[in-house]
């Protein structure tokens, strides 16, 4: 089966299986989603969702976050891991948003990715989910792992994986594709013990039964 045919068949199943797939980082606006996504690096969404409410209650917007003592931010996000680096990035990011963007989260890839602590993946999360702008595909650990297992790409670097996926996935589906892959990765196709026996797309997956899983 050709890669594009395999993709179409697999994604048709995932679309039905995870029809309600969505961003699992709780947020009420672009600012909250941006900060939550920065916090989610090497941390679970569940943990971020536990920590974020107190952070946003203390510092509800970019100006308040920019003016916050670094130590206060560190204390509130301590349990997300790498808290010192994250706090520094969050504060500096908010300083730039306040100074250069009048306190509003920018909505272009160039402007977002220029902010401290914001790479292409984070920018794609914000653009696709806060602004409904399909600029690219979020390639996190789940999307990367599953795309390789399902034969959508042979690349290992996120940006190269993204380029391969952008050729396969219709642009209108870029954000939804990531959500569905992430849902499948968390609920079925885990890194160490993929549940191939119950997998909805096992019959289409070239890695089914492979010892390389």
**154: domain CATH number?**
1.10.1670.10
Number of domains in the chain: 2
pLDDT score for 212: 55
The catalytic residue among 75, 88, 140, 164 is 140
152 lies in the same domain as 182: yes
* 150 and 121 part of one domain: no
Dist. CA 33–CA 144, nearest whole Å: 22
Residue 10 in this model has a pLDDT that exceeds 50 = yes
Q: What is the band of 201 on the pLDDT scale with cuts at 50, 70, 90? A: very high
CA distance 157 to 39: 22
Q: Are residues 181 and 114 in the same domain?
A: no
Task: Tell me the per-residue pLDDT of 88-124, one tens digit each, with 9 for 90 and over.
Answer: 999 999 999 999 999 999 999 999 999 999 999 999 9
User: What average pLDDT score do residues 171-180 get?
Assistant: 97
pLDDT above 90: percentage of residues in the chain: 97
Q: Are 189 and 148 in contact (CB under 8 A)?
A: no
* CA distances for 34 relative to 48, 122, 140, 208, angstroms: 12, 7, 15, 36
Residue 211 has pLDDT above 50, yes or no: no
pTM higher than 0.85? yes
| Parent domain of 62 | 30-130
- Annotation says 121 is catalytic: yes
Q: Are residues 8 and 75 in the same domain?
A: no
Return mean pLDDT, the chain.
96
Query: Which residue among 121, 132, 154, 167 is the active-site one?
Result: 121
Q: How many CB atoms lie within 10 A of CB 27?
A: 20
Identify whether 140 is a catalytic site residue.
Answer: yes
* pLDDT score, position 1: 83
Q: Is the pLDDT of residue 162 over 50?
A: yes
Q: What is the mean pLDDT of residues 46-54?
A: 98
Looking at the domain assignment, is residue 81 inside a domain? Answer: yes
């Amino acid at each position: 089966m050709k890669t594009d045919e395999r993709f179409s068949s697999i994604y048709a199943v995932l679309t039905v299986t995870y029809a309600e797939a969505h961003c699992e980082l709780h947020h009420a606006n672009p600012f909250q989603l941006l900060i939550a996504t920065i916090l989610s690096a090497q941390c679970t969404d569940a943990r971020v969702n536990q920590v974020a409410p107190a952070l946003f209650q203390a510092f509800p917007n970019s100006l308040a976050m920019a003016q916050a003592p670094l130590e206060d931010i560190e204390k509130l996000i301590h349990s997300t891991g790498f808290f010192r680096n994250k706090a520094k990035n969050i504060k500096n990011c908010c300083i730039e948003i306040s100074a250069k963007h009048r306190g509003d989260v920018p909505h272009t890839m160039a402007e977002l990715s220029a902010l401290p602590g914001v790479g292409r993946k984070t920018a794609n999360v914000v653009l696709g989910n806060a602004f409904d702008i399909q600029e690219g595909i979020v390639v996190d650990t789940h999307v990367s792992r599953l795309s390789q297992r399902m034969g959508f790409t042979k690349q290992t670097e996120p940006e190269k994986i993204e380029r391969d996926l952008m050729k396969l996935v219709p642009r209108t589906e870029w954000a939804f594709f990531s959500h569905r892959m992430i849902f499948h990765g968390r609920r079925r196709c885990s890194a160490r013990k993929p549940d191939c026996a119950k997998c909805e797309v096992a019959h289409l997956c070239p890695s089914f039964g492979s010892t390389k899983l």
